[in-house]
Chain A
Amino acid sequence: MPQRRWAIMALLELTGVTKRFGGLTAVDNVNLVLNEGEILGLIGPNGAGKTTLFAIIAGYLKPNEGKIVFNGVDITGKETHKIARMGMNRTFQVVKPFSDMNVVENVMVGAMMRNASVKRAREKAMDALEFCGLAHRADYLGRELTVANKKRLEVARALASDPKVLLLDEVMAGLNPSEVRDAVEFIHRIHARGVTLLVIEHVMEVIMPISHRVAVLNYGKKIVDSDPKQAVSDPEVISAYFGSTDEGRGDASC
């Protein structure tokens, strides 16, 4: 068992969350708890419903059923910007930089959530860029970055708004093994700032070293919720997750 270094308190709690797109149940009666100070990995094959679950939590999609409580407040169906201001931010699997703004300006928009002053926001943005290793790209336009750097930009932008909880959607996709090592260290540094993390990662090798706990989704259902070692050796996970990677159920990750 991993030692718990934090007082256990559910910061985010999902109860019976279900989302249907026509006949497809993308998220199926999911219960999930994210404790304060935790790094929770959310994994599952392509199309398992991970991104959809993020969209529901962050207020982009209304669930058909279920309840979401954040920091003791029911946020089910609440508007996205309000949820963000309560201290929960997300990044996007399909990156969404502000293309015609430069990198600092992008991050300043995030920083402005807690700083009305443009000058203060710029300072905060530079700090966040420094932290994310993007300071040398500060005056590049959003569109001019590589995809890997766009993903870092999204993290910097979210961090600049001082979130309590950060939802990261495949920020490490497409990295080579050495870059993965950097990314793992990066996640730990974010966590060390006191940010609670819910991390979607498609690749097991990435999620294992960072997660305190892992939840596995398959066809919208949560099939496992345990410590990482147990999760990888779970027969249901092995058949559902590894068994299906070859089939390729349509890859939305880009």
Chain B
Amino acid sequence: MDKKTIQVKSLFRPAIIVPAAVVLVLCLLPQFIKGYPLHTLTLIILYAALGSAWNWLGGFAGQASLAHAVFFGLGAYINSMLQVHFEVNPWVAMLVAMAGVGIISILVGLPVFRLSGPYFSIATIAIGEVVKIIFINWKATGGAVGMYLPIRESSLLNFQFNDKAPYYYIILAFYFVAVSITYWLKNSRSGYYFRAIKEDPQAAKALGINIVQSKLLAMVLSGMMCAMVGSFYVNFTLYIDPDNVFRFMTSVQIALIAVLGGVGSVWGPLIGSVIILLLSEGSRAYLGGIGAGLDFVIYGLMIMLIAIFQPNGIIGAVENYRKKKRLKKRQMQEATDAAKEVGDHGAA
């Protein structure tokens, strides 16, 4: 009987209860929310998935990319090109898009991972701009005008629905895939290696870690997830153009969502996404035209505030209070232990 109570108790740990509640709420929300709010909610989950993907590369492995909109956009473009030009099924197109972006991220990663810190980030910005220019000038993808997907009958196989709710559930499922990968990373050798590389690449090498290989794995995982979400996006909106999917500000938003929520955390990107999306939707609704520019100012401010006061984001802030208390206790413990050891040896 004792054993049973322990098992039951361990099931009610906050580490299990809180995520379970979050999952439940997310699944039930469309019962209460319809129309435009559900559309916004869909975007929130979409960005949470992108933020999670960013987190693997930026949060775990410490490679702060500012080109994640590129992976997202390439996924969307490959998907729609396959549908428009070759009449491929959207789901098959999604798998091809993911594979394609996976390969592209290796090709991009090999040279870019020679750079570190801010140089890496700057290089990713440059890549983003180059890709955008290519797509603006590329006839096959409709150039600056973009591409429309053909309207099909509402069905899961066609990835098109008359109602908003199915879209929401699809992106929610994608997001849960991202969350599962984050959980896996937290508890796998690869995840440990990513973190070791972020903390100290020199020490990581000494422990047999192939740094380039680990970073590439992070990049490929991250890129493929973004391509999956990008595929969803184009099927959701049925239209894309380069300005829309390759926006530099989208890359900034993705990074900000992960950093604001908490680098390397499982649920942080969801919190970050709620805040950033409500902020940008809100400023657009209340401030109209000027709101668009104001976003950027607010993002800039946020980046500075996070950098100065809370590098570990919101999840980090929650943990911080406990940590600070513990640290003080530990520093004292270390000091008294050291003193005691000296005393012991002195007596001996």
Interface residue ranges, A against B (CB under 8 Å): 58-60, 79-81, 84-85, 89-90, 92, 96-101, 105, 108-110, 112-113, 116, 118, 121, 140-142, 144-146, 148-149, 157-158, 161, 176, 178-179, 181
Once the chains are docked, how many angstroms separate the CA of A79 from the CA of B199?
A: 20
Whether A98 touches B199, Cβ cut-off 8 Å, given contacts A109-B193, A112-B189, is yes
- Which residue from B192, B208, B341 sits with its C-beta under 8 Å from A161? B208
**Cβ–Cβ < 8 Å partners of A105 in chain B:** 192, 195
Asked if A144 and B200 make an inter-chain contact with CB atoms under 8 angstroms apart, the answer reads: no
Q: Top 5 nearest A-B pairs by Cβ distance?
A: A178-B345, A96-B203, A113-B208, A98-B199, A84-B208
Asked if A85 and B189 make an inter-chain contact with CB atoms under 8 angstroms apart, the answer reads: no
**Cβ–Cβ < 8 Å partners of B195 in chain A:** 98, 100-101, 105
* Nearest chain B CB to A58 CB, angstrom units: 7
SS class of chain B's interface: helix, strand, loop or mixed? helix
Q: Which B residues, 291 to 331, have Cβ-Cβ distances below 8 Å to chain A?
A: 327, 330-331
Asked if B330 and A92 make an inter-chain contact with CB atoms under 8 angstroms apart, the answer reads: no
| Closest A residue, CB atoms, query B344 | A178
Asked if B189 and A176 make an inter-chain contact with CB atoms under 8 angstroms apart, the answer reads: no
Q: Which B residues, 162 to 179, have Cβ-Cβ distances below 8 Å to chain A?
A: none
Once the chains are docked, how many angstroms separate the CA of A142 from the CA of B341?
A: 21
Once the chains are docked, how many angstroms separate the CA of A212 from the CA of B98?
A: 59
Asked if B207 and A118 make an inter-chain contact with CB atoms under 8 angstroms apart, the answer reads: no
Asked if B338 and A96 make an inter-chain contact with CB atoms under 8 angstroms apart, the answer reads: no
Residue of B208, B341, B345, B348 most packed against chain A (CB within 10 A): B208
| Closest A residue, CB atoms, query B191 | A118
**Cβ–Cβ < 8 Å partners of A101 in chain B:** 195-196, 199
* Nearest chain A CB to B191 CB, angstrom units: 9
Once the chains are docked, how many angstroms separate the CA of A97 from the CA of B203?
A: 8
* Cβ of B210 under 8 Å from chain A: yes
- Which residue from A80, A85, A98, A179 sits with its C-beta under 8 Å from B196? A98
Asked if B346 and A178 make an inter-chain contact with CB atoms under 8 angstroms apart, the answer reads: yes
**Cβ–Cβ < 8 Å partners of A145 in chain B:** 334
Asked if A109 and B192 make an inter-chain contact with CB atoms under 8 angstroms apart, the answer reads: yes
Given contacts A116-B189, A178-B346, 11 further A-B contacts (CB under 8 A): A60-B202, A79-B205, A81-B208, A89-B207, A90-B206, A98-B195, A105-B195, A118-B188, A140-B330, A142-B199, A146-B334
Asked if B207 and A110 make an inter-chain contact with CB atoms under 8 angstroms apart, the answer reads: yes
* Nearest chain B CB to A169 CB, angstrom units: 11
Asked if B203 and A98 make an inter-chain contact with CB atoms under 8 angstroms apart, the answer reads: yes
Asked if A85 and B208 make an inter-chain contact with CB atoms under 8 angstroms apart, the answer reads: yes
Asked if B207 and A99 make an inter-chain contact with CB atoms under 8 angstroms apart, the answer reads: no
Residue of A58, A112, A140 most packed against chain B (CB within 10 A): A112
- Which residue from B210, B341, B345 sits with its C-beta under 8 Å from A81? B210
* Nearest chain A CB to B193 CB, angstrom units: 7
**Cβ–Cβ < 8 Å partners of B330 in chain A:** 140, 144
* Nearest chain A CB to B181 CB, angstrom units: 16
* Nearest chain B CB to A232 CB, angstrom units: 25
| Closest B residue, CB atoms, query A89 | B206
* Cβ of B204 under 8 Å from chain A: yes
Once the chains are docked, how many angstroms separate the CA of A108 from the CA of B196?
A: 10
**Cβ–Cβ < 8 Å partners of B277 in chain A:** none
Residue of A97, A98, A149, A161 most packed against chain B (CB within 10 A): A98
Once the chains are docked, how many angstroms separate the CA of A239 from the CA of B157?
A: 84
Once the chains are docked, how many angstroms separate the CA of A84 from the CA of B208?
A: 5
| Closest B residue, CB atoms, query A96 | B203
Once the chains are docked, how many angstroms separate the CA of A31 from the CA of B189?
A: 38
| Closest A residue, CB atoms, query B327 | A144
Asked if A149 and B334 make an inter-chain contact with CB atoms under 8 angstroms apart, the answer reads: yes
Whether A121 touches B189, Cβ cut-off 8 Å, given contacts A81-B209, A144-B331, is yes
Asked if A92 and B211 make an inter-chain contact with CB atoms under 8 angstroms apart, the answer reads: no
Asked if A81 and B205 make an inter-chain contact with CB atoms under 8 angstroms apart, the answer reads: yes
**Cβ–Cβ < 8 Å partners of A179 in chain B:** 341, 345
* Nearest chain A CB to B166 CB, angstrom units: 37
Q: Which B residues, 200 to 256, have Cβ-Cβ distances below 8 Å to chain A?
A: 200, 202-211
**Cβ–Cβ < 8 Å partners of A161 in chain B:** 207-208
Once the chains are docked, how many angstroms separate the CA of A89 from the CA of B204?
A: 11
* Nearest chain A CB to B344 CB, angstrom units: 8
* Cβ of B8 under 8 Å from chain A: no
* Cβ of B342 under 8 Å from chain A: yes
* Cβ of B187 under 8 Å from chain A: yes
Asked if B187 and A81 make an inter-chain contact with CB atoms under 8 angstroms apart, the answer reads: no
* Nearest chain A CB to B117 CB, angstrom units: 17
**Cβ–Cβ < 8 Å partners of B338 in chain A:** 146, 148
- Which residue from A92, A110, A140 sits with its C-beta under 8 Å from B202? A92
Whether A157 touches B334, Cβ cut-off 8 Å, given contacts A112-B189, A176-B342, A179-B345, is no
Once the chains are docked, how many angstroms separate the CA of A238 from the CA of B95?
A: 71
- Which residue from A59, A60, A79, A112 sits with its C-beta under 8 Å from B192? A112
Once the chains are docked, how many angstroms separate the CA of A205 from the CA of B155?
A: 80
**Cβ–Cβ < 8 Å partners of B207 in chain A:** 84, 89, 109-110, 112-113, 157-158, 161
Once the chains are docked, how many angstroms separate the CA of A108 from the CA of B191?
A: 12
Asked if A109 and B206 make an inter-chain contact with CB atoms under 8 angstroms apart, the answer reads: no
* Nearest chain B CB to A82 CB, angstrom units: 8
